[in-house]
Amino acid sequence: MTRPWDATSEQLLRELAPQVLGAVARRFRDFVSAEDAVQEAMIAAFTQWPEEGIPENPRGWLIQVAFRRMTDHVRSEIARREREAVVAQEAELVVPTVDIESDMDPDDTLILLFMCCHPALTSSSAIALTLRAVGGLTTGEIAHAFLVPEATMAQRISRAKQSIQDSGVPFRLPSPQERAQHLPAVLHVLYLIFNEGYVSSAGAYLQRLDLAREAIRLMRYTKEMIPDSAEVAGLLALMLLTDARREARTGPSEELIPLDKQDRTLWDRAKISEGVGFLTEALSKGTVGMYQLQAAIAAVHDEAARADDTDWAQILALYELLKRVSPSPVVTLNHAIAAAMVHGPSKGLELLKQLDSDSRFGGHYRLAAVRAHLFEMIGDYKAAIEHYRMAATRTTSIPEQNYLMTQAARLEENPCGSDKNRARTR
């Protein structure tokens, strides 16, 4: 008995991928080969299920296919060894029948997530490996999302898998101490995936919805597996509160619409309510971290019925706290925006000066873009035009480029009609 292939079938495969990989990796103790075998099983499902229908036990079907691939791989390796080794190993591989229940462990996905986000990996490698092994995305899909050739992404994933294999990380649930030590790396990777989905760093589209949705899905799973972490709840809240504005952020031609110009009736109130719920839960735990504070800032924006109703004084206070908890150039930049909205654009411009000497951020397009808005607020249109154009040359996002050049052209055509009360936020 089979079920028809429909729009939710691909999502089913995404959800099953880490469960199947966990079962195969735990059985064969070979993460690299297991991941390849599961990808082959996923390709087989993509090829066969639309024509034949989804099996009654899709997870069992995928495990069986992956186990057969792994068995073939192991037998191929055995063939290179001494005859006596062949005989000994073949005896262990005569049973391809899979006990699905015994081969499943509800913690497998969490184990995979911690392995893929191992601190030994670079952020780019961890992101790619997480999307492949835990998210179930193909190499081609990941390469497309990050605008690199598929061969380049394949090499990146291959190196990441080999690094995991060489590190000797055991396939087991991290101890409480290991979990506490490595959880920040896991959250950072999911945060980066979401950010790339929410504001794509390059290309013709402002948003990569597939990445944003995948980050939220993985965060929901992490929340289920680690329910008592305030920062896990805080990051999930941040994603939901930010993603709630997605429909209003772009126009029909993919043009960027700044926060204060968005149609707030398009904001997803269900996501906002859910995000506020997770934020309340996180704050009730008594510890305040960077994701909770960012979520609180997002909540202040989301709960304002109109842009003019935004409680900028509260946002400024939250950014001042965030600067102490987790200082960074981006936090300094956003703190300057909030200060400009509370104390005037001159204050914001003064605070931005400290970023000029920051090697990580001094030439970033967002610094020039914020300066442009603040110069516009103060009435220095010549400087505003210069910085809008400067920012446009520094970003590789086409919607951002178009937006910034449009602002420069607007001031050139009609400087007196400019909006003097806007600072750029996302």
Q: Average the pLDDT over 310-321 and give the result.
A: 98
Per the model's pLDDT, the better-predicted residue between 28 and 248 turns out to be 248
Give whichever of 131-145, 217-231, 267-281 has the largest mean pLDDT. 267-281
Give whichever of 92-96, 200-204, 413-417 has the largest mean pLDDT. 200-204
The secondary structure of residue 35, as a DSSP letter, is H
Does the pLDDT of residue 191 top 70, yes or no?
yes
Which of 331, 215, 218, 235 lies closest to 282, judged by CA? 235
CATH number of the 327-426 domain: 1.25.40
pLDDT at 94: 44
Per the model's pLDDT, the better-predicted residue between 264 and 6 turns out to be 264
pLDDT at 321: 97
Distance CA 147, CA 213 (A): 18
Distance CA 263, CA 302 (A): 12
pLDDT at 221: 87
Q: Is 24 exposed, middle or buried (0-12, 13-18, 19+ CB in 10 A)?
A: buried
* Cα–Cα separations (whole angstroms), residue 92 to 32, 36, 78, 85, 338: 21, 22, 12, 11, 65
**How would residue 421 be classed by pLDDT, with cut points 50, 70 and 90?**
very low
pLDDT in tens, 364-420: 999 999 999 999 999 999 999 999 999 999 998 899 999 999 999 999 987 665 554
pLDDT at 244: 97
Identify residue 164 by its one-letter amino acid code: I
What integer best gives the mean pLDDT of the chain? 86
Please state the domain extents for the chain.
2-92, 327-426
pLDDT in tens, 130-154: 888 887 777 887 887 776 888 999 9
375-405 b/e (C-beta count within 10 Å ≥ 16 → b): bbbbebbebbbbbbbbbbebbebbbbbbbbe
Per the CB < 8 A criterion, the answer to whether 321 and 309 are in contact is no
Which of 226, 329, 213, 322 lies closest to 278, judged by CA? 226
pLDDT at 79: 66
pLDDT at 105: 57
What is this structure's pTM? 0.80
Distance CA 310, CA 297 (A): 11
Per the model's pLDDT, the better-predicted residue between 82 and 272 turns out to be 272
**How would residue 423 be classed by pLDDT, with cut points 50, 70 and 90?**
very low
Q: What are the residues whose beta carbons fall under 8 Å from the beta carbon of 160, sequence distance 6 or more?
A: 116, 121, 125, 126, 128, 129
Share of the chain above pLDDT 70, in %: 88
Does the pLDDT of residue 170 top 50, yes or no?
yes
Distance CA 16, CA 24 (A): 12
Share of the chain above pLDDT 90, in %: 46
pLDDT at 133: 86
Distance CA 84, CA 90 (A): 10
pLDDT at 387: 97
Which of 257, 426, 421 lies closest to 340, judged by CA? 421
**How would residue 102 be classed by pLDDT, with cut points 50, 70 and 90?**
very low
* Angle formed at CA 47 by CA 46 and CA 52, multiple of 5 degrees: 100
Give the CA count within 13 Å in the CB-facing half-sphere of 352: 25
Does the pLDDT of residue 294 top 70, yes or no?
yes
Which of 6, 70, 84 lies closest to 39, judged by CA? 70
Q: Average the pLDDT over 21-32 and give the result.
A: 85
